[in-house]
Structure 1
Amino acid sequence: MKRLSLSLVLLVAITMIFTSNPTLVDAASLNSKINDLQKEKEKVSKEKSSVSNKVNDTEKKMEENKAQQNETKNEISELDSNLASLQEQLKQKENEIQTTNNNIAKTEEEIKQAEDEIEALKEEIKQLEEEIVELEQKIEERGELLKGRLRSIQQSGGSIKYLEVILGAQSFGDFINRATAVNQIMNSDKTIMEEQEADKKQVEENKKVVEESKQEVEKQHASLQENKKQLEGERANLVAQKQDLNNIQAELDKQRSEKQSLMANLEEEQEQLEEIKLSAQEEQQLINAHLASLEKAIAQAEAEKNKVEQYSNNQSKGSTASSGGGSGKFIYPTSGPVTSHFNPNRLHPIHNVIRPHNGTDFGRRSSADSVIKATASGVVSFSGWMGGYGNTIMITHVIDGKTYTSLYAHLRSRSVSRGQSVSQGQQIGVMGTTGSSTGVHLHFEIHPGGYKNPANPLNYL
Structure 2
Amino acid sequence: MIKNANIKIQKLNEEIKTLKERIKQREELLKERARSYQEIGTINYLDVLIGSQSFSDFLDRAGAVTTIITADQDLIQQHMDDKKVLEDKENEAKDLLVKLENYGESQKKLKSELDIQKKNKDDIMQSLKDKEEDLENEKLSLEEQNSLLDSQKEAIEKAIKIESEKKTQVATKKENEAKSTSSSIKANTNVSKKTKGVWTTPAQGRLTSTLGERWNKFHAGIDIANSADVPIVAAADGVVSRSYYSTSYGNVVFISHSINGQVYTTVYAHMDSRVVKTGESVSKGQQVGIMGNTGQSFGQHLHFELHKGQWNASKSNAVNPLDYISI
TM-score by length of 1: 0.53
Letter in 1 for 2:309: G
Query: SS in structure 2 opposite 1:224?
Result: helix
Report the structure number with the largest CA radius of gyration: 1
Provide the rounded CA distance (Å) in 1 between the counterparts of 2:61 and 2:35: 18
- Pair 1:339-2:199 in alignment: no
Q: Return closer, same or farther for 1:110/1:138 CA change in 2, 3 Å cut-off.
A: closer
The two structures, once aligned, show a CA RMSD in angstroms of 4.2
The question of whether the paired residues in 2 share the 8 Å contact of 1:414 and 1:428 is answered with yes
2:250 alignment counterpart: 390
The question of whether the paired residues in 2 share the 8 Å contact of 1:391 and 1:409 is answered with yes
The question of whether the paired residues in 2 share the 8 Å contact of 1:344 and 1:358 is answered with yes
2:80 alignment counterpart: 218
Cα displacement string for residues 32-54 of structure 1 (whole angstroms, at most 9, x for unaligned residues): xxxxxxxxxxxxxxxxxxxxxxx
Q: Return closer, same or farther for 1:281/1:458 CA change in 2, 3 Å cut-off.
A: same
Provide the rounded CA distance (Å) in 2 between the counterparts of 1:198 and 1:268: 102
Cα displacement string for residues 46-77 of structure 1 (whole angstroms, at most 9, x for unaligned residues): xxxxxxxxxxxxxxxxxxxxxxxxxxxxxxxx
1:458 alignment counterpart: 322
Question: Which of 213, 217, 226 is residue 364 of structure 1 equivalent to?
Answer: 226
- Which structure dedicates a bigger proportion of its chain to helix? 1
Question: Which of 257, 260, 263 is residue 122 of structure 2 equivalent to?
Answer: 260
1:282 alignment counterpart: 144
Query: SS in structure 1 opposite 2:43?
Result: helix
Q: Return closer, same or farther for 1:105/1:269 CA change in 2, 3 Å cut-off.
A: same
2:190 alignment counterpart: none
1:330 alignment counterpart: 199
Number of aligned pairs? 298
Q: Return closer, same or farther for 1:243/1:373 CA change in 2, 3 Å cut-off.
A: closer
2:189 alignment counterpart: none
Question: Which of 248, 267, 271 is residue 411 of structure 1 equivalent to?
Answer: 271
1:167 alignment counterpart: none
The question of whether the paired residues in 2 share the 8 Å contact of 1:379 and 1:395 is answered with yes
Where structure 2 has 5 or more consecutive residues not aligned to the other structure, the ranges are: 169-173, 186-194
Query: SS in structure 2 opposite 1:133?
Result: coil
Query: SS in structure 1 opposite 2:318?
Result: coil
Provide the rounded CA distance (Å) in 2 between the counterparts of 1:201 and 1:241: 58
Q: Return closer, same or farther for 1:273/1:106 CA change in 2, 3 Å cut-off.
A: same
Provide the rounded CA distance (Å) in 2 between the counterparts of 1:123 and 1:365: 109
Where structure 1 has 5 or more consecutive residues not aligned to the other structure, the ranges are: 1-88, 148-192, 309-316, 348-353
Query: SS in structure 2 opposite 1:388?
Result: coil
Aligned-pair identity (%): 29
Letter in 1 for 2:16: T
Query: SS in structure 2 opposite 1:396?
Result: strand
Letter in 2 for 1:134: N
Greater RCO between the two (CA within 8 Å, min separation 6)? 1
- Which structure dedicates a bigger proportion of its chain to strand? 2
Cα displacement string for residues 148-207 of structure 1 (whole angstroms, at most 9, x for unaligned residues): xxxxxxxxxxxxxxxxxxxxxxxxxxxxxxxxxxxxxxxxxxxxx98x898666534432
Provide the rounded CA distance (Å) in 2 between the counterparts of 1:240 and 1:406: 74
Query: SS in structure 1 opposite 2:267?
Result: strand
1:107 alignment counterpart: 16
Letter in 2 for 1:378: G
TM-score by length of 2: 0.72
Provide the rounded CA distance (Å) in 1 between the counterparts of 2:258 and 2:234: 14
Provide the rounded CA distance (Å) in 1 between the counterparts of 2:243 and 2:23: 100
The question of whether the paired residues in 2 share the 8 Å contact of 1:395 and 1:405 is answered with yes
The question of whether the paired residues in 1 share the 8 Å contact of 2:152 and 2:310 is answered with no
The question of whether the paired residues in 2 share the 8 Å contact of 1:115 and 1:221 is answered with no
Provide the rounded CA distance (Å) in 1 between the counterparts of 2:158 and 2:120: 56
Q: Return closer, same or farther for 1:433/1:392 CA change in 2, 3 Å cut-off.
A: same
